[in-house]
Amino acid sequence: MGVRFLLSVLPLVAALQHLADPPAPAIAAPASKSYEYIVVGSGAGGGPLAARLAQAGKRTLLIEAGDDQGDNINQAVPVFHAYSTEDPLMSWDFFVEHYKDEKRQKQDDKYTYVTTEGKYYVGKNPPPGAKPKGILYPRSGTLGGCTAHNALVSVAPHDADWSLIQNMTGDDSWNPKNMRRIFEKMENAVYASKISSGHGHSGWLTLNLFDISQVGLRFNLLDVNLLEVLYGAAKVTGSGIASSLGNLVGLLQSDVNSAAPSRETTEGMWAIPLAVKNGRRTGSRDFILEVYTAKTADGKQRYPLDIALNTFVTKVTFGTNGSRPVANGVEYLKGQYLYRSSPKSGKNSTSTSGRFTAEKEVILAAGTFNTPQLLKLSGLGPKEELRKHNISLLVDLPGVGKNLQDHMEIGITHTLPSGNTFKIISDCNFNHAPGDKCLEEWAKSSTGIYSASNGFPAAVLKKTSVAAEDPNFGHISDLFLFGGLAAFRGYYPGYSKDVYQHGNWTWVVLKAHTANNHGTVELRSADPLDPPIINFNFFDAGDPAAGKRDVQAMVEGVKLGRKLNTAEVSMVDQWPGPMVQDDKGLEDYVKNEAWSHHASCTAAIGADNDKNAVLDSKLKVRGVDGLRVADASVFPRIPGFFVAIPTYMIGEKAAESILTGK
């Protein structure tokens, strides 16, 4: 399971890249050591923020720890998102814990060890001498951050996510109407009519839907098994009987990103909006490069944006002559694969050190794990933890690295009877080997199933029996089940090979607005290249009452997923398996096997009287000047169903706040 794919050496892949990709633009080394604004991290928050500042004429430096992998086929092909998370050229492999009790943690079949030979072992019976590593939590170290490897799902957050911040801080700029304006500003909704409620059509982020009718026509086939799975899901969820392909297409065009109030409460089948443009992944990288490469009429750079690649920030620096510390720059190491979460770290890695100066502000957008790590290394964090690592305390901020939250997920996988398959992917090998007709079609024309989908064409929203117990989100569907042609049970080394198997269908149950906020991100050492210690404290290990509700919701989701899988087609239960039937068995399955990958909330916005609030409502770090945060760590409660869109919105809002002072 631990075998990695060094895809750059595969001749077919190289040839396909040449056919499919325009050459990535050359990114020059920064021309200066001093900028008005320095943005650390190029993901969903930092990328749009840096681009907007530069568009406004502000001299901006965007710093990225990795290089640009935009012409890497694993990043470009929508359906290869799993491969992108394990591509050593761009992956950062964090290994996390779900529980403090090691014995309990090891009940997870995905638990990973390092053997005496230095290889990964995944499972419950490690060989003698193997050392516990944890649960794989894929992150990305490349231009675009995690938008370069996510599953492209682009679902807008709920109005209540913004009302929560508005009410908590008293800042009306967070009101849902204003935040919807920001969403429309950045969106280019190709799939939605221009008269549709709450959509933008000229923004930088292109969103599309999986078009099952076009794919079917293109391959001139009727995938009876796929249609029966989807028909069954429509019947079970009360979405109406999809008695024809046309009716089914109608269900799979339903707009989960509409501004209509009903989108927050309507259960049933929905389409999944994807960040796909012209058959390719799109995200922060595209917007960054659009701004970076823009030229004036005489061929000069239009916007003052510089990009520093392979530049790992180790510390924010401060001036301390005034009444409050003022951020005035960053220290960094220059080199490839320096961070020890990279699979290529330590393999002939060399670095040089340096410093960039910020004349106005530094904005951290390094992500939910790395932003709190960087704050602490810079002297901002819990005083006891900083003292433990001999780091000079600048400001005691006890909330840094606390409040870690995530959406909980669990998979329900069924397999078609022997000899059966889903015809829609019958020509797809998913293995980068010669003869993959689906990959060849994508390479020639950016069309076909590889361009049209992330492999998960349908979603089901469900409100569970415990949803109403949440005072902030009790009116909203709390489960998002997304179904696809995959065998997906979470993350472990080598999972990307296993997920692409013919004849499998998985419903992934995602629990939104999880109630547990007891996860932590703590320093492993004072060495900035050491990944932090991360423990999510799942379920009852954090807040027992909240954990009980989350488990109950997910058990209801597993039961629903089983019904969806077997309503109209005969399939074999592979995961959790036929032996797991009663509620106790399902609860154990959820507690042992659940995973997550939308980490949030570790540098949270909060009220002025909240001692654990790290940021004010303008995303400014408390106790200092000239420093903000703009990534998923800023949320006080994890938003919506997926965090990419809300984090893009944070980047956009941060830019507006900086430029307008509001």
**Do the annotations mark residue 229 as ligand-binding?**
no
Sign of the C-alpha dihedral computed for residues 37, 39, 42 and 48 taken in this order: negative
Burial of residue 417 (number of CB atoms within 10 Å: 0-12, 13-18, 19+): exposed
Cα–Cα dist 355/346, whole Å? 23
Q: What would the DSSP string read from start to end of 495-536?
A: HHHHH--TTEEEEEEEE-S-S---BEEE-S-S-TTSPPEEE-
The helix or strand, by DSSP H or E, that contains position 627, with its residue range, turns out to be strand 627-629
**Do the annotations mark residue 316 as ligand-binding?**
no
Q: What count of other Cβ atoms lies within 10 Å of the Cβ of residue 464? A: 20
* Residue showing tokens 């004349």: 359
**Do the annotations mark residue 313 as ligand-binding?**
yes
Cα separations (Å) of 199 from 112, 283, 347, 556, 612? Answer: 43, 17, 47, 33, 36
Q: What count of other Cβ atoms lies within 10 Å of the Cβ of residue 354? A: 14
Distance of CA 243 to the CA centre of its chain: 35
Q: Which of 657, 656, 600, 518 is CA-nearest to residue 161?
A: 600
Contacting residues for 217 by C-beta, under 8 A, at least 6 apart: none
**Are 24 and 75 contacting, i.e. CB atoms less than 8 angstroms apart?**
no
**Do the annotations mark residue 151 as ligand-binding?**
yes
Distance of CA 579 to the CA centre of its chain: 33
**Do the annotations mark residue 153 as ligand-binding?**
yes
Q: Which of 384, 397, 388 is CA-nearest to residue 316?
A: 397
Q: Where are the beta strands (DSSP E) in 282-339?
A: 305-308, 311-319, 326-334
Cα–Cα dist 515/549, whole Å? 8
Annotated binding site: 150-153, 313
Annotated binding site for FAD: 150-153, 313
